[in-house]
Structures are given as C-alpha cells and as structure tokens.
Structure 1
Amino acid sequence: MTSTEPMTYNPGPEFDRRIANLIGYVSMTTAVNLDGTYGYTPAYSTTWEGMRLVVEEMQRRGWDLGLFTDHEGWLAEFIILENGSLAKGRAETAPHAVCLACIAAIEGQKKEV
C-alpha cells in the first residue's frame, strides 16, 4: 500500500483534535477550557513535543519514521518494512508533516481491512 495525504489540514487545535481522536488519545481532566470545552489536547501539529507523542504511538503500532527536509519543507514517511506499507506527509514544518503522514497511515490501514 502506498498512501499520500493531500495537504488540506491546517496545523492547529482543530487538526490536533482530529489526530487525538485518530490515535485514541483521551484527556483525563474535568477542567473547562476558555472555549467551554473540556480537557487538553496536545499540540501535535505545531510542536516538537506533540510530534514526539505521535511518533511514539505510531512506533507502538509498528510504523517506523523517516523525516527529511529540503527547500520545499519537510517530508515525513511512516513505513512498515515487513509488508511495504508507506504513508507520506509534506508540510512547511516537521510536526505538521508527521501528522499528515499519521493520518495517511492510519486511514490507509482502515481502507485495507
């Protein structure tokens, strides 16, 4: 399987909530945010710390990460060598590229089932 996610998702809180839902993150707090919502979602798509959480979850699922930079920005590739699965994401920042590749990988797996 080869999958490339189109860059239609802008980095930020809404995209971070999509990633959290996709990887199964659940906030364990009852604190109310300023916008009236509950809980905390890590900044997956805008910070290196948030990106680390995505990478760790993908590694737990058997995916390895390749992360490259060039004059066009960042390219993230999640790959499972045993079966040749490959998912890519390209963006201006590394965290955003990793999140795009994460979506491509997980949604690609769902389509195969």
Structure 2
Amino acid sequence: MGVPYDLFWHLNPQKLLPFAEAHRKKQQARSDEMWLMGQYVASALDATVCNAMPFVKRRQKGKYFEKPIRVTPMTEEEKRIEEEKALNQFISFFNGMENDKSKRRSKGE
C-alpha cells in the first residue's frame, strides 16, 4: 500500500480503506497500461513477422495501427462528427450503387 509505517500503526482499519482503494486503482491502471502495450506489440509482430513469412497464406496482410488506440472516452462533439462521417459514407455508398444501376440500365443490361 502506500501508508507510512508509523501512520499504519495509529490508524484503525476503517481509515486504511482509502489507501487500499488507491493501491487497487494504481494496480488496475498499471494492468491496463501493460495490456495496451501488448496490443501494440501484437500489431507490430503481425505487421512485420507474419507478413515476412511467404509460406503462410493469409487472406489479408497484417498492418500496424494507423492511429493510436484511444484510451479516453470521446466527447459529445467528437461523437457527433464520427456519426456524420459514417452517415456520409453510407449515403455515398448507396449513391454509388444507384449510379451503377442507372449505368447498367442505360447500357441495356
């Protein structure tokens, strides 16, 4: 924990609970940090070692993250921007499909 030795012997167990909780949170944060580091290492290995093996057939080549993994939650403004981007991509996709159909009709297919 992080309780000085002299203070430990003068506090009752109830007053030690915040120290124990702080220690638990610190350990959880460290664990989360190590897990995130493992994700980066796994992605790096996938992008290098696995792609360098010519005898292994894979449907898709491994690649490293294009952006860092986000740890903090998105703000409302960022969520709104992401939703707008997704909606625009959706609309563009279906507009492209509609254009393909109209081109095929005009060709007589």
Q: TM-score range by the shorter chain?
A: under 0.3
Which structure has more helix as a fraction of its residues? Answer: 2
| Structure with the higher strand share, 1 or 2 | 1
Larger radius of gyration: 2
**TM-score, length-scaled by structure 1:** 0.17
Higher-RCO chain (CA-CA 8 Å, sequence separation at least 6): 1
